[in-house]
Structure formats: C-alpha cells, structure tokens
Structure 1
Amino acid sequence: MRQAQHLTLAALTLSLTPAFAVAERDLVPTLERRFDVCPDRPAELSWMQEIPLRQAYQRVLVQDIYRAQNLERIVETGSCNCEIRFPSWDDAEAMFREVHASGERWEMLQASDAYNRRANAARPAAKAICEAAGNW
C-alpha cells in the first residue's frame, strides 16, 4: 500500500514537471520598473545609477534621505498626492551634498541608519494618509 502511494506521488510529480518548465520559461525578467501607484515617478539621478559598486553606500544614503524626507512630508502636509510622495530627487541630493558627501564611509552608513529610523517612524502615519487617498 505504501509503495503504491509513493509510485502515485512520483507519477504525479513527473506528469507536472513539463507544466512547471513551460511556466518557468514564460517568466521573463525585466529591469524596467512599472508602478501601479504614481507611475510617473522621477527617475533616480544618473550619477546614482552609474556609481561604482564600491561606493554604492552613497547611493543608498541618497535613497534613504529621499524616503525619509518624503514620508515626513506626507505626514506634515496630510497629503499623499504623487508630487508629495515622489518629488524630484533634488532635495535629497542637496542634503547629501551639503551634509554627507565629504564624510567617511562609516559616517554615511550611520547616517543611512538614522534616515531609516526617521522613515520608519513616519511610515505608519504616512501609510494611513496614503491609503485613505488610495495612493499606497
């Protein structure tokens, strides 16, 4: 009886294998980003996209600044329109250049941590505002 169950399971597995292979072939990865919410988001700055891998922490810091600023702005204004939620990168870049660009790697990593804490603190309130606006 037990052997029959194993044989049935093995046959079922083998019969489904071609279906999984076909489905897997149909999955085509893409680097193009598409968003359901605020699809016209500004692209990251070109220097951020072209930064050498060994300096990627600088890109991450600008992204963390951007996220914290935007979530805090949503809470401050009580609005979640696309221009507030996803503004240009100018303010985040300016903050990076004025305050952090000359810092050491470890200082930038600490700053990233601080901006993440700020963003995480603002996130629940920002999410509530954006969900009410249908923009989360």
Structure 2
Amino acid sequence: MLSIEAQLIELQEYAAKEKLEIVASFQEAKTAKEPGRMKFAEMLAILESGKADGIISWHPDRLARNSVDGGKIIHFVDRGLIKSLKFPTFWFEPTPQGLFMLSVAFGQSKYFVDNLRENVKRGLRQKIRNGV
C-alpha cells in the first residue's frame, strides 16, 4: 500500500533528522482496531526486554485504535519501559499532560473506528431499503 510505504520513508527521514536509532521495524497488516496483533506484541516484547526504549510511529492511531492496546502503551510509559514516543505528526512528552493527550488521541482513534462502523451499517440498511 502506497500510504504505508510513504509513512515508512517519512519515518526514516524523521528518525535521521532527530538522530534516532531504529532497533527494529514493524509493519502490521492487521488493523489496529482490534487487540491481539502479532507485530504489536513483538514490539512490546522488545520494549519489555530492554532492547529498545522507545517507539517511532506516524501517529498514535497507527499504534492503537482500541482501548486495550492504547492502555498497554500508556502502561509501558508509566512503567518506564517506553522512555521516548516520537511522532512526526503528534507531540508527546512522558508527563501527566502528555499522557493525557496521548489518551485523548487513542480515544479519538477508537471513536473514529466505532463511528465509521455505525455509519457503514446505516448506509447498508438504506441500500437494503432501496432494494440495492
């Protein structure tokens, strides 16, 4: 997908500009709207092992669009397993205010997914009514 390719290139450029070392790179084909993604679990395992202490991502919604995964990221920050969380499109610092804003971003991402699902269902119901 071109969008993912573009995000990866821009993330590499961002990492170079910010002098950030990329220890591992993860591309998840599965949507972030449901917990249980394999690559997400691998990423958390690397953080928990201490092999990495930060995440670079395009936007918080690339990490989590569900409350379970969003909560895990916040919990890892709270435990000090994530010391650096960098986004070229979103500001974050591991402060109470930063964690609150990250929670809001994760909440907005979940709302977007939930709202889209309702809108699609409504559209499908109308198509059925119209005989399409």
Q: TM-score, normalised by structure 2?
A: 0.27
Q: Which protein is richer in strand relative to its size? A: 2
Q: Which protein is richer in helix relative to its size? A: 1
Greater Rg by CA: 1
Q: TM-score, normalised by structure 1?
A: 0.27
Which protein has greater RCO, CA pairs closer than 8 Å, 6+ apart? 1
